[in-house]
Amino acid sequence: MPGGEREPSARATEITPSPPRAGEGSGEASRFSAWRTRVAKANVLIVGDVMLDRYWFGDVERISPEAPVPVVKIARSDERPGGAANVARNVAALGARAMLLSATGKDEAADALLRLLDTERIHTSFLRDASLKTTVKLRVIGRQQQLLRIDFETPPPHELLAAHLAEFDHLLGDADALVLSDYGKGGLAHIATMIERARAAGKPVLVDPKGDDWERYRGATMITPNRSEFRQVAGRARDEDDLARRAQALRRDLDLDALLVTRSEEGMSLFSDAGTLTIPAQAREVFDVSGAGDTVIATLGTLLAAGASLPIATAIANEAAGVVVGKLGTAVAEPGELS
């Protein structure tokens, strides 16, 4: 558990994004509209576990006589890119060029992913293997509520992942930032090497972590755990000062420039050498939090690729997250929905 001395500068500073008054340069800079031109020139490489999110929507009118479960009469279905593919969607939706590297099977689900991503102008580089089953998450929705999720997945073979590195080196040269989306499906076996090579090339590296082995993320620019993931590694904090102490100790131990903890209704807290910056959540009706973490790291990566500072990128990512939690399923924040 992270310990260490109290950070003297680790007092929470609350900043609420709001329309700037005349002459407030910093307020203007924290609006996405101030970055759209630079975002359009930015290139973001996304590497990680892709999946196909399938949704079956229907009506529930009775309970099954076979077991105490609802019977759903399916009326329609939908398919959306998920995991690292949803991160790429969010990058592209903001106007940047998204390059996506991943491993998939030679199956119908991978074909569907390629078709969907092509319509969103995402440059895809899929290493396809017949022995691998592309991850599919099937969600059954009744009366606007998720009733069941069924997962189909197999880990990729090590030989296929080794081929990642050559393609990674090729794509990295065109990238302004690297986003590593770890969903624990085995697609990032060489993540430590990727971080090392990207940092040596002077690229910011952002990681969406999974599990409790964060040593593999050592040396990244930034990791973006949610509150539950952070507690799993750092333990439960007693108060805000204790949270800052644990976060800063963990950040120093892993040689990170910054650590961003997304805290649901409590907003986000950015921990860096400058101290702690806490941005309150924007008041919105929460409909579905799935994919919100993808939007956060995609927005951060896009803004850093465009040259924004971490505090500005975090403020805009907070606003983008507030947009997508009001939508069903994995979704994106469009520029017109941001200030």
Catalytic residue among 129, 176, 208, 294: 294
DSSP-derived letter for residue 122 is -
Burial per residue of 34-71, b for 16 or more beta-carbon CB atoms within 10 angstroms, e otherwise: bbeebbeebbbbbbbbbbbbbbbbbebeeeeeeeeebe
* Surface-to-core class of residue 160, CB atoms within 10 Å of its CB (0-12 exposed, 13-18 middle, 19+ buried): middle
CA–CA distance, 125 with 100 (Å, rounded to integer): 6
Strands (E) located in 218-279 = 222-223, 258-262, 268-272, 275-279
Residue 70 φ then ψ, to 5°: -70, 150
Active site residue 151: no
CA atoms within 13 A on the CB side of 25: 0
Spatial contact of 301 and 310, defined as CB atoms under 8 Å apart: no
The catalytic residue positions are 294
